[in-house]
Amino acid sequence: MTGSIHETPASPHVWQPKTAEEAWQCKQACGSEGIYIAGGTLLHTRWEAGIAAMPPHLIDISGIDGLNGIKIGEAGLELGSAVSLQACRNHPMLLRRFPLLTEAMRAIAAPSVRHLGTIGGNVLSIVGDSITALLAYDAALVWFNGQSEQTEKLTDWLPNAAVPGYTDDRLLLRIVLPLEGADDKQNRCTDLGAAGNKRHYGAFHKIGRREAFTPSVVTAAVLVTLSEAGEIETLRIAAGGGQTVPARLEEAEQDGIGKQIDTDLLRRIYERVGQIYKPQEDAFATSAYRKQTAANLIVTELWKAGGGIDGQGG
C-alpha cells in the first residue's frame, strides 16, 4: 500500500490488501473513514442516489486469498465472501445440494450486477435477497476480528446488525452451509428427493412489482423433511423482502413439528405467519399486503410438500 492513510482525497483511496490481517490493519488505520469493498454494486447505488457519502478510503478485499473460492470444509460448504453472485448461481455443488440459494441468486438484479456483486455484500446489506435462502439452510458466518476467526450463526447476527447505529470492524471471510441433511437429489424449488424413508421438499420465492430486475416485496423460503408416515420432522421457514430484515419464523416452524400436513395445520401456520412476520411498509407495498403474500407462499409450499401439488393430499 502506498500514500498516507489520513489524506483527504477528492476521490477515495483504494487499498488492496493481500491478507485478512493486512485488511484488518488498514481498517484500524482508516477507522470510520474506510470500508471493506469487493463488488461494490449496492454501495455504488447508495452513493449515486445520495443515500450515503462515499468514504475517503475503500479497502478492496477481492484480492485476498481464499475469499474468492467455494470449497468443502470441516463445517460444511464454504462460500468465500468475495465470490460473485453469478458464480454462486452456477456452482455445481450449490445447484445440486443447495438449490434454494441458486434460485435466490437467479432472482437478484441483472446478470451484469450478478457478475460484480458478491455473496458477502448481499449478506452484509442485511436485507439481501439471498439471506432468506441462507436462513433456511441454517448458514453461519465466519469473521476475522484481527486476531482469530469467529463463527456466528446468521440467525444470531441479523438482529444485532439491524440495530440503528450498529458498527462492526470485523472482516467477513466466508459463509458456511452445513452439509448435514443436504440431498444430492435436490431440484430447484420442488421435491428435493428421498433419503431412506424420508422425503425432503424446499422452495424459494421472490415476489416483486414486475417480472425481473426488481426490488423484492416479499422473499420466502421453506425447507421441510417428512417422515415415512408423512409427519414433519424438520421445518425451516424464513421470510424477508424490501427493507425488512429477513428472519426465521421459528414459532411457525414449531407449530408444524410432528404434525401431518393437513388443512388444520395449514390454517394454523397461515395465522402464525401473520402474527410473527413483521414486514416494513414502503411506497411499493403495505405491511398487510406483504404479510398476506408471505403467508400464502409459505402455506402453498407446505401444501405441495404434503402431496397437494399432485392432488394427493393437503
Convert the pLDDT of each residue in 266-297 to its tens digit: 999 999 999 999 999 988 899 999 999 999 99
Using CA atoms of 256, 261, 265, 271 in order, give the dihedral in degrees to the nearest 10.
80
Per DSSP, helices labelled H in 38-124 are: 41-49, 85-90, 92-97, 99-106, 111-116, 119-124
Tell me how far apart the alpha carbons of residues 9 and 56 are, in angstroms, rounded to a whole number.
7
Q: What is the mean pLDDT of the chain?
A: 87
Three-state SS at 141: strand
Q: Which residue did the predictor score with more confidence, 295 or 5? A: 295
Mean pLDDT value of segment 70-80: 95
pLDDT in tens, 188-234: 344 555 555 789 999 999 998 655 556 789 999 999 999 999 999 99
**What is the per-residue pLDDT for 50?**
66
Q: Give dist(CA 55, CA 47) in Å, integer.
A: 10
Q: Please report where in the chains the cell 426488481 appears, as a residue.
A: 214
Quick one: what percent of the chain has pLDDT higher than 90?
70
pLDDT of residue 214: 67
- As beta bridge partners, residue 59 has 15, 36
Question: Does residue 112 have a pLDDT over 70?
Answer: no
Residue 245 carries which side chain, given as an amino acid letter? V
Residue 229: strand, helix, or coil: coil
Write the CB contacts of 206 (distance below 8 Å, at least 6 apart in sequence). 104, 107, 129, 216, 218, 219, 241
Domains observed in the chain: 13-60 (3.30.43.10), 191-310 (3.30.390.50)
Q: At residue 45, does pLDDT exceed 50?
A: yes
Instruction: Provide mean pLDDT across the span 109-125.
Output: 82
CA torsion sign for 99, 103, 108, 113 is: positive
CA 301 to chain centre: 19
Q: pLDDT band at 237, cuts 50/70/90?
A: very high
Q: How far apart are CA 71 and CA 108, in angstroms?
A: 23
**pTM of the complete model:** 0.88
Rounded to a whole number of angstroms, the distance between the first and last alpha carbons of the chain is 62
Strands 232-241 and 216-226: antiparallel
For the segment 95-111, the average pLDDT, to the nearest whole number, is 89
What is the rounded distance in angstroms from the CA atom of residue 118 to the CA atom of residue 102? 13
How far CA 281 is from CA of 27, 190, 206, 221, in Å, comes to 35, 30, 17, 20
Phi, psi (rounded to 5 degrees) for 158: -55, -50
The CA distance from 30 to 146, in Å, is 14
Beta carbons within 8 Å of 160's beta carbon, 6+ residues apart? 166
